[in-house]
Amino acid sequence: MTVIALLGAGKIGEALLSGLLKGGHAPGDLLFTERYEDRARELETRYPGMRAVTVEDAAKRADVLVVAVKPQDIEPVLAELVPLLGPSSLVVSLCAGLPTVLYERSLAEGVPVVRVMPNTPMLVGEAMSAISPGRYATAAHVAVVKELLSHVGQVVEVPEKQQDAVTALSGSGPAYFFYLVEAMIDAGILLGLPRALAGQLIIQSAVGAAKMLAEGEDHPVLLREAVTSPAGTTINGIRELEKHGVRAALLDAIEAARDRSVELGREHEH
Ligand SMILES: NC(=O)C1=CN([C@@H]2O[C@H](COP(=O)(O)OP(=O)(O)OC[C@H]3O[C@@H](n4cnc5c(N)ncnc54)[C@H](O)[C@@H]3O)[C@@H](O)[C@H]2O)C=CC1
Ligand SMILES: O=C(O)[C@@H]1CCC=N1
């Protein structure tokens, strides 16, 4: 089985490890490094068999090294990796904004790097991951990464220049859905419903709507129109959404997230 070492086991790292375990990956073939001792122990307890290791061990034993630290923390990780990696290694970066060329400039000549933008629904095997090979990554490297990620959700390959947009759409996207759900549950409270009931009503509506979309029932516009009866209730709500510029707010929000991804990449240009 492919041995995977995660460098930085925070939120997205844990989502990947947990998703791979659920997908049948042996815990002994999942290694991780972690800056904080407490966090390392927490994960070892939560996922018996999985072990925190040193970066040297990770580089020696793993077929794939997955970098999952914050983009701001990348420099020390690269410095540690420089003496440990060569062209037979495979580096996968999950870091928002960081281009493959950043790794290629720092690491030894020929180290293959694949940039990936996943999202947290990986925890439940429903990730959307977009992958882009760097200069030294071959079709075989891409195939390894695709296979790995296919155990935790869907995978698409995109040109690297689209990764900042992808980050804003599917990387951050779950947060925007959670935000909408949170606001809609609050609306239930405003209307006097108990929180648990409001939560059940909205979450199941979200699951049902997502399933209709995922199963390709129809275009989202037609699905919305089917809910919107003439002189009915829904159109009154839609008028308010339009009045408050919700569509424009979403366009601006996603554009701002894209811009931040570009900026994170630029912060590491020397
Ligand atoms: N959270 C999300 O939904 C997504 C995050 N990402 C990317 O994943 C990366 C991690 O994000 P999160 O998991 O949200 O952040 P996080 O802060 O939860 O996790 C980062 C982890 O790396 C550890 N760390 C930092 N430096 C280290 C080092 N030198 N050696 C070992 N461990 C180290 C930290 O202690 C922390 O546990 C970021 O680059 C982010 O852009 C990508 C897609 C989605
Ligand atoms: O907010 C962030 O920077 C990360 C990248 C995409 C989702 N979470």
In the prediction, which pLDDT does 233 show? 98
Q: Which domain holds residue 24?
A: 4-163
Shortest-distance atom of ligand 2 to CA 117 = 6
Is 33 close to ligand 1, i.e. is its CB under 6 Å away? yes
Contacts of 136 (CB under 8 A, 6+ apart): 87, 104, 110, 111, 112, 113
Question: Rounded to a whole number, what is the distance in angstroms from the first to the last CA of the chain?
Answer: 38
Q: Are 32 and 156 part of one and the same domain?
A: yes
Look up the ipTM and state it.
0.99
DSSP string, 44-57: HHHSTT-EE--HHH
In the prediction, which pLDDT does 230 show? 98
pTM of the predicted protein model: 0.96
Give residue 231 CA to ligand 2 midpoint distance, Å: 41
pLDDT digits (tens, 9 = 90+) for 22-45: 989 999 999 999 999 999 999 999
In the prediction, which pLDDT does 223 show? 97
20 token code pair: 């791979």
In the prediction, which pLDDT does 21 show? 93
Shortest-distance atom of ligand 1 to CA 175 = 3
CB 11 within 8 A of CB 120: yes
Indicate the residue among 112, 145, 163 that finishes a domain. Answer: 163
2 token code pair: 């492919």
Domain for residue 269, yes or no? no
Residue 157 confidence (pLDDT) above 80: yes
Q: Are 154 and 177 part of one and the same domain?
A: no
Indicate the residue among 163, 190, 222 that finishes a domain. Answer: 163
The verdict on whether residue 71 carries a ligand-binding annotation is yes
In the prediction, which pLDDT does 270 show? 64
Q: Are 132 and 14 part of one and the same domain?
A: yes
User: What sign results for the dihedral spanned by CA atoms 178, 184, 187, 189?
Assistant: negative
pLDDT digits (tens, 9 = 90+) for 47-61: 999 999 999 999 999
Q: For residue 32, what are the β-bridge partners?
A: 6, 52
Contacts of 71 (CB under 8 A, 6+ apart): 95, 96, 97, 98, 264, 265, 267, 268
Is 177 close to ligand 1, i.e. is its CB under 6 Å away? no
Pocket test for ligand 2, best of 115, 129, 167 (most atoms within 8 A of CB): 167
Please list every protein residue whose CB sits less than 6 Å from any atom of ligand 2: 96, 167, 171-172
Q: Are 73 and 134 part of one and the same domain?
A: yes
Indicate the residue among 163, 190, 214 that finishes a domain. Answer: 163
Consecutive H or E run containing 258: helix 246-266
| Ligand nearest, relative to CA of residue 119 | 1
pLDDT digits (tens, 9 = 90+) for 64-99: 999 999 999 999 999 999 999 999 999 999 999 999
Pocket test for ligand 2, best of 117, 172, 178 (most atoms within 8 A of CB): 172
Give residue 249 CA to ligand 1 midpoint distance, Å: 28
pLDDT digits (tens, 9 = 90+) for 195-250: 999 999 999 999 999 999 999 989 999 999 999 999 999 999 999 999 999 999 99
CATH of residue 186's domain is 1.10.3730.10
Is 118 close to ligand 1, i.e. is its CB under 6 Å away? yes
pLDDT digits (tens, 9 = 90+) for 112-136: 999 999 999 999 999 999 999 999 9
